[in-house]
Amino acid sequence: MAAFLPRRFEDLTGFAAADHRAAFSAFRASAGRLIDGAFPTGALGLRAEAFRPAAVAALRVGEILDAEAARRFFESHFTPLAIVPDGARVPDAGGAGFLTGYYEPVVEASDEPDDVFRFPLYGRPDDLVKIDDVNRPPGFDPEFRFGRRLSCGMIGEYFDRGAIEAGALKGRGLEIAWLADRVEAFFIHVQGSARLQMRDGRQMRVGYAAKSGHPFTAVGRSLVEEGALTLAKADMVGIRAYLAAHADRADDILARNRSFIFFAEIPVDDPALGPLGAAKVPLTPLASIAVDRLLSTYGIPYFIASDALTIGGAPFRRTMIAQDTGSAILGAARADIFVGTGDAAGAIAGTIRHPADFFVLVPPDLAAELTS
């Protein structure tokens, strides 16, 4: 799965010079839920309860406005451990792990369909059931976490993207809003949230509520495999351009990703805050990451370093807090960076596909336990 190697903060190139204030604010945003035991411990053994003293300290300190004070907070409460995935080499900022980026799109939407707004975002259907080890039918794919309650009472596979977009849910009143662009709707599924600018002037947020259960398939990778795109052009910009140029193929290409996301409406109480992540706290741009929910633990800090990725004119070196997850985020040294809201954030997020090295920041007692 992964090994942990002890490190010192002075071993982490760029840590001393980095600005950790956003990371501290993000850590503090999760602190109350860490203290309350809301976050399960993942298979890596990063025990949530071990982080509670630091969470208590973060709430006691209050907001930190001084960059040096933010750095000292992390140095005084944690020790870094390099994460070495199975078969990977020792981290050196060349990239034992992998980074991608995501953002919150802002798009125009309508309460009602018309000739322009024709592509719906759906709420969670009442026949969608979560599957666990208790109710999983014999022989049912263990990767499926959701299924469909059939009229006979049994559980089967839920409708996939192709079936839903062909009308499987039509007429059930599940539509939250309609969009003008099917590709935009697809990428909202990939991002997991969006801010909708309604035609009556209202703003509405939609966030992840559930999914069909089918595994996520990266359509960019499938286009590379068939030779339609080069690997270098298989980012969000390249995929959008290809679909625009081959509109007659768009339905078939998008249907390759059988996973389908259902959304919930979320009021925009504070437009300055990011969308809610899976940890149920607002995401902080360039300080929140999505992680593998089965391996990692929400609310805990990482230091991530990449020579290949440049944001703001310098190699990427940032402390980040695990506050979200995603279907494509699999592995101990794998993260999706939340970049922010709107087109400018999307322009950055869509190009992030870079190797990186991961260091998890853990309390000293837990560090000794994990490296013994």
Token duo for residue 146:
């959701």
| Cα(266)–Cα(276) distance, integer angstroms | 9
Q: How does pLDDT run along the chain (372 residues), one tens digit per residue?
A: 789 999 999 999 999 999 999 999 999 999 999 999 999 999 999 999 999 999 999 999 999 989 999 999 999 999 999 999 875 555 554 568 999 999 999 999 999 999 999 999 999 999 999 998 889 989 888 888 899 999 998 999 999 999 999 999 999 999 999 999 999 999 999 999 999 999 988 989 999 999 999 999 999 999 999 999 998 888 888 999 999 999 999 999 999 999 999 999 987 778 888 999 999 999 999 999 999 999 999 999 999 999 999 998 899 999 999 999 988 899 999 999 999 999 999 999 999 999 999 999 999 999 999 998
Fold type of domain 106-266? Ribosomal Protein L25; Chain P (2.40.240)
In sequence order, what DSSP letters do the residues of 52-100 get, joined into one string? HHHHHHHHHH-----HHHHHHHHHHH-EEEEEEETTPPPPSSS-SEEEE
3-state secondary structure of 220: helix
DSSP conformational letter for 48: G
CATH code of the region 2-103+273-371: 2.40.40.10
Q: What is the pLDDT of residue 326?
A: 87
| Cα(249)–Cα(126) distance, integer angstroms | 32
Token duo for residue 344:
């400018």
Q: How far is CA 166 from CA 160, 169, 343, in A?
A: 10, 9, 29
- pTM for the model stands at 0.89
Q: What is the pLDDT of residue 139?
A: 85
The domain limits of the chain are: 2-103+273-371, 106-266
E-only strand ranges, the chain = 2-6, 79-85, 97-104, 106-109, 119-122, 128-130, 146-149, 155-156, 175-179, 193-198, 203-211, 261-266, 288-291, 301-311, 314-325, 334-341, 353-362
| Cα(287)–Cα(177) distance, integer angstroms | 30
